[in-house]
Structure 1
Amino acid sequence: MFWKSVVFKLWSTIILLVAFVLMILTVLLLEFFENFYIDDAEQNLVNQAESVQSLVESHQQEDVSIETVNQLMDPSTRVTIFFDEHQYWQNEASQGQSFELDPSWFIASSDINQSLSEDEQIREITTLPNSDEEIMVVGIPTKDEQGAIYVYQSLNVVEETTDQTTDIILLAATIAIVLTTIFAFFLSTRITAPLIRMRKAASELAKGEFHTKVPVLTYDEIGELANSFNLMRRQLNYHINALNQEKSQLSSILKSMADGVITVNKQFDVLIINPPAEQFLEQLKYEHDLAEEPLPEMLTTYFNDVLMDEQEQSVEITVQGRSYVLVMTPLYDNSVIVGIVAIIRDMTDERQLDKLRKDFLANVSHELRTPISMMQGYSEAIVDDVAESKEEKQELAQIIYDESLRMNRLVNELLDLARMEAGHIQLNPEQVDVKTFVQRVMNKFTTLAQNQKIQFNSHFDLEQTTVMFDPDRIEQVLTNLIDNAFRHTEEQGMIHVSVWKSGDEIHFEVTDNGKGIAEEDLPFVFERFYKSDKARTRHQSKKGTGLGLSIAKHIVESHGGTIVARSKYEEGTAFTFTLPLILDE
């Protein structure tokens, strides 16, 4: 509001100050001029009385002196001359004069007579009889002291002069007030205009706008204030940008961290949290049904222990089947604990790797123990001449040879798988006619299909028959899938190989109506050494190493493709893998 602004306050202060000064000055001037005019009128009457006294004394003839006095007297002035107690003269009233004192009034006034008897002048302001009009009376005795001269005048003249002077003074005061108002408003506006601009600039600073500059129009204190404000604006802009940059960097670092970070104060209010930590809290709340709580009671208990012990602590908890390690450290500010910083690390992959390492050692030991035991047993039989005939020894040697081939195949597959997992697989892509390629791979199983009386056929739906891939590696994949189909399909069964194009990909599918894979085993068929036959008691001819599908997956993915398995137990299985038509270099 304008009434609360600095302009109004400064303007009203100046106006009140000037008005007060002018009021006092007006009162003093009016009093001064009123006294001045009264004194002047009184002195003028005294001078006139003395002039009349001189004229009366200087002329022997009363008629001549009276005539002279009548001509010399001011029209607004009345004069009464007492030559003695019984003889007096009074000039005639001029036109417009309404006041007149009867000579008997002077004789009746004891104060006047007493003063004249003491040879003193009379100066008195009195009121006309039967009237409210004031007059000023001046009387002096004649030189022979036998008479007196009275000169009197109405104070209306003095009042008119005083009123005129008052009007002039009030007019001057009014003009001074108006000019002062204009000047004060102009001055206050000029003084406060830079302040208003600085206020607006400060409001914009509060809103985060740091590019507003206050113009410097003067070089006084206000100009220095504007310079200081602009300097402050630049410094604030610099520091705010630096803080925003640091905050942005900190936020980017926190968001890009794989580990979760939670910072809380001593009241366990969350100050800083990143997305992995938010996901962890959501999982923890979901598992324990704590949707309404900001922090689960489990975490607050851990945090409280850290505050009590004032040292770092770590715990490992399992949430939704995943393992997390929670490392909690006190947060200090000048050696005073103000909160807690918690690092949440997902250790599921590490624990899974440890488990896979242990399973790998167990599986390798298991896969090698059987052929080694068989080779050891059959070789002891040969050494101890348990097999007496040549045919028996030949059979035992053949078993030892087959087991050695199995061990060699296992070791080679382990080496291939290790190279693939290390990213050292080498592809030699070339243009391959898909139909010819698939037929060549299928021809290797024609005799096996005839022996097992399995219906083995193919279907092609291709517009483009030539595709770029590594034929040796894809042959290894396709051979493994077809071999698995034959090993799990009974006699009179069916195995079907389909190839078709969809979009920018080519699809290969091997389908059988064999025993299928149990639903609980299906997600793990591409893991190394995983076998759905947990007892590992299959027929010797159908025994595998458990590495083929894992190797096949790595080969397909190295080509930029995907492989999936679909199966229904006791109904059949379908393995489908896709390859891009344009192989990435």
Structure 2
Amino acid sequence: MMILTVLLLEFFENFYIEDAEMNLLNQAESVQSLVESYQEEDVGIDTVNQLMDSSTRVTIFFDEHDYWQNEPTQGQELAIEPSWFIAQSDINQSLSQDEQIREITTLPNSEEDIIIVGVPTHDEEGAIYVYQSLNVVEETTDQTTDIILLSATIAIVLTTIFAFFLSTRITAPLIRMRKAASELAKGEFHTKVPVLTYDEVGELANSFNLMRRQLNYHITALNQEKSQLSSILKSMADGVITVNKQFDVLIINPPAEQFLEQLKYENDLSNDHLPHLVTDHFNHVLNSEQEQSTELTVQGRSYVLVMTPLYDDAVVVGVVAIIRDMTEERQLDKLRKDFLANVSHELRTPISMMQGYSEAIVDDVAESKEEKQELAQIIYDESLRMNRLVNELLDLARMEAGHIQLNREWIEIKPFVNRIMNKFMTLADDQQIQFEANIDLDHETAPFDPDRIEQVLTNLIDNAFRHTAEEGMITVSVWEQEREMVVEVVDDGIGIAEEDLPFVFERFYKSDKARTRHQSKKGTGLGLSIAKHIVESHGGTIIARSKYQEGTAFSFTLPLTMDESYK
């Protein structure tokens, strides 16, 4: 608008100047016609004087010394001396060549600009000059300028308002889309851009909303798949770890994290990088592009690593490793082997003795009846021992399989304990061992299987007698603690070595033979294991405390309330 305004102003200024020149030229030609049409010079001049515009001055040169000028109107000071025209050589030269002149110049002795138009007379001996002040053109130009500037101002205001309105309709949706895009970048996919128009901006808003819905759908689907994958990995018992070629961890689950923490702790590593022991195996898989497996022992636990190359369009981009804790399997294999070895060992001795003594009887090695009866008694005792061993093995197998049957009932505690202790009174008198009981309970009865608990208590007391020297002391204590009944058997016998104490409840555990006082009453090594299963099946716990050469204390707990599952 500003450029257009400047061009219009320039155009109208030139237009008015050219119009004024043409008007003066027409007047000069009219004067020329009037002067030449009248025979009498005075009549022509009067006619010219009457016809001339009040703002226009005319000077007629009939020859170089004969001229005429019209009289100025009231208030008009525009006047040029005739001598000035004669002095202008360029003007006179143009007229002498029968040419018209149009010139803008400044009045002599004045700063006022004028427009001069001159035409030669037909006899080429004179000239007619018509001129007027440029102020008239400037006034017209100023009026036109005011009109143009006013129109331009109004147009600029209107176009500004329209542009603001139009830009608001365009930019407002764009601003909302920009804000929505920022929220999309932050993960907020519920922001909707309102569609106000059906033009290109409206189509853009529709496309943006469609894109938002598609992104929300795909991101939700990806999050669900990621959540499912994370849940699957977390619920896996085996460890899973995925690395790229730079050995950066991409995916890992808690079991794998525990494995790496144990491995770092064992190798005194504190950084976040994978241990070299693992990266060496991963690097071997990357180079060979084949599945590999290895077994590692970390912190006393056995782990098997199964490593497989990770492909992306037939290109190996990493390694996926499955970390499986095989400690229990290895321990079960060891227990199976130990069990077979222990059973074989326990059965071999009585079988050998029975075979040897039976051969002695068959071969009549024992001649007297008393000797034969003694050998038969040994065979009988060993058969009882084998029968007891087999029965205990069957009981232990049923208990470990969860097939133990408990007949829980409310039992009076004090008579129950005294009855069991009475079975050992004769043995205590024979060995001169002080055998006492301390019972301090608020409850007189407790729910348990009397036969099974009698088996536990009998085993503990029998072990105490077998490992307590003469004139020793054995105490059976019963008290209440946190709604549980605690039964403890304490002796001041030989005790259990510290290195053997963690294994006393394992199958076939036996103390050192030197600590067994009565070889004829040695056990099978299953009693404490059976006692542990019986107590735990009642919902209690059993522990052992001992100091070598000072004594041993076995204690177990039983609930004083009966659960619904036992009723």
Match of 1:561 among 525, 533, 540: 540
Q: How big is the alpha-carbon RMSD for the aligned residues of Structure 1 and Structure 2?
A: 2.7
**Larger deviation: 32-41 or 472-481?**
32-41
Match of 1:367 among 317, 337, 346: 346
Letter in 2 for 1:98: E
Match of 1:583 among 545, 562, 567: 562
Match of 1:223 among 202, 221, 233: 202
For 2:207 and 2:514, locate their aligned partners in 1 and report how far apart those are by CA, in whole Å: 86
Note closer, same or farther for the CA distance 1:499–1:55 as it changes in structure 2 (3 Å cut): same
For 1:560 and 1:124, locate their aligned partners in 2 and report how far apart those are by CA, in whole Å: 129
**Larger deviation: 213-222 or 278-287?**
278-287
Give unmatched runs, 5+ long, in structure 2. none
Note closer, same or farther for the CA distance 1:236–1:165 as it changes in structure 2 (3 Å cut): same
Cα distance, 1:84 vs structure 2: 6.4
For 2:92 and 2:286, locate their aligned partners in 1 and report how far apart those are by CA, in whole Å: 113
For 1:171 and 1:472, locate their aligned partners in 2 and report how far apart those are by CA, in whole Å: 119
SS at match of 2:201: helix
Letter in 1 for 2:311: Y
Note closer, same or farther for the CA distance 1:142–1:396 as it changes in structure 2 (3 Å cut): closer
1:230-269 to structure 2, matched below 5 A, reads: 230-269=209-248
Letter in 2 for 1:186: F
Equivalent residue number for residue 36 of structure 1: 15
Q: Decide whether the 8 Å contact of 1:559 with 1:583 is kept in 2.
A: no
For 2:312 and 2:96, locate their aligned partners in 1 and report how far apart those are by CA, in whole Å: 106
Equivalent residue number for residue 519 of structure 1: 498
Cα distance, 1:553 vs structure 2: 0.5
Cα distance, 1:112 vs structure 2: 5.7
Equivalent residue number for residue 406 of structure 1: 385
SS at match of 2:73: coil
Match of 1:356 among 307, 316, 335: 335
Equivalent residue number for residue 324 of structure 1: 303
1:447 and 2:426 correspond: yes
Q: Decide whether the 8 Å contact of 2:180 with 2:191 is kept in 1.
A: yes
Q: Decide whether the 8 Å contact of 1:82 with 1:148 is kept in 2.
A: yes
1:286-435 to structure 2, matched below 5 A, reads: 286-292=265-271, 294-435=273-414
Letter in 2 for 1:579: L
For 1:281 and 1:233, locate their aligned partners in 2 and report how far apart those are by CA, in whole Å: 41
For 2:96 and 2:282, locate their aligned partners in 1 and report how far apart those are by CA, in whole Å: 118
Give unmatched runs, 5+ long, in structure 1. 1-18
TM-score normalised by L of structure 2: 0.91
For 1:115 and 1:129, locate their aligned partners in 2 and report how far apart those are by CA, in whole Å: 20
Equivalent residue number for residue 271 of structure 1: 250
Cα distance, 1:296 vs structure 2: 2.0
Q: Decide whether the 8 Å contact of 2:467 with 2:517 is kept in 1.
A: no
SS at match of 1:285: helix
Equivalent residue number for residue 187 of structure 1: 166
Equivalent residue number for residue 489 of structure 2: 510
Cα distance, 1:527 vs structure 2: 0.2
For 1:86 and 1:283, locate their aligned partners in 2 and report how far apart those are by CA, in whole Å: 131
SS at match of 1:343: strand
Equivalent residue number for residue 8 of structure 1: none
Note closer, same or farther for the CA distance 1:114–1:389 as it changes in structure 2 (3 Å cut): closer
Q: Decide whether the 8 Å contact of 2:466 with 2:516 is kept in 1.
A: no
Equivalent residue number for residue 14 of structure 1: none
Letter in 1 for 2:428: A
1:150-169 to structure 2, matched below 5 A, reads: 150-169=129-148
1:201 and 2:180 correspond: yes
Cα distance, 1:335 vs structure 2: 1.6
Note closer, same or farther for the CA distance 1:471–1:185 as it changes in structure 2 (3 Å cut): same
Cα distance, 1:32 vs structure 2: 2.6
Note closer, same or farther for the CA distance 1:428–1:43 as it changes in structure 2 (3 Å cut): same
For 2:423 and 2:43, locate their aligned partners in 1 and report how far apart those are by CA, in whole Å: 177
For 1:267 and 1:145, locate their aligned partners in 2 and report how far apart those are by CA, in whole Å: 107
Q: Deviations over 1:475-500 (max 9, x none)?
A: 11111111111111122111111111
Letter in 1 for 2:176: R
**Larger deviation: 147-156 or 498-507?**
147-156
Cα distance, 1:121 vs structure 2: 5.5
SS at match of 1:215: coil
Cα distance, 1:113 vs structure 2: 5.8
Letter in 2 for 1:164: Q
Equivalent residue number for residue 519 of structure 2: 540
Q: Deviations over 1:394-419 (max 9, x none)?
A: 22222211111111111111000000
Note closer, same or farther for the CA distance 1:207–1:535 as it changes in structure 2 (3 Å cut): farther
Q: Decide whether the 8 Å contact of 1:560 with 1:583 is kept in 2.
A: no
Q: Decide whether the 8 Å contact of 1:430 with 1:468 is kept in 2.
A: yes
Cα distance, 1:124 vs structure 2: 4.0
Q: Decide whether the 8 Å contact of 1:524 with 1:530 is kept in 2.
A: yes
Cα distance, 1:70 vs structure 2: 4.5
For 1:119 and 1:566, locate their aligned partners in 2 and report how far apart those are by CA, in whole Å: 147
1:92 and 2:82 correspond: no
Equivalent residue number for residue 6 of structure 1: none
Equivalent residue number for residue 465 of structure 2: 486
Equivalent residue number for residue 102 of structure 1: 81
Cα distance, 1:227 vs structure 2: 1.5
**Larger deviation: 127-136 or 152-161?**
127-136
Q: Percent identity?
A: 84
SS at match of 2:270: coil
Name the count of aligned residue pairs: 564
**Larger deviation: 312-321 or 137-146?**
137-146
Note closer, same or farther for the CA distance 1:148–1:520 as it changes in structure 2 (3 Å cut): closer
**Larger deviation: 341-350 or 547-556?**
341-350
1:462 and 2:441 correspond: yes
For 2:211 and 2:33, locate their aligned partners in 1 and report how far apart those are by CA, in whole Å: 88
Cα distance, 1:132 vs structure 2: 3.7
For 2:18 and 2:415, locate their aligned partners in 1 and report how far apart those are by CA, in whole Å: 144
Letter in 2 for 1:408: N
Letter in 1 for 2:312: D
**Larger deviation: 96-105 or 478-487?**
96-105
Equivalent residue number for residue 138 of structure 1: 117
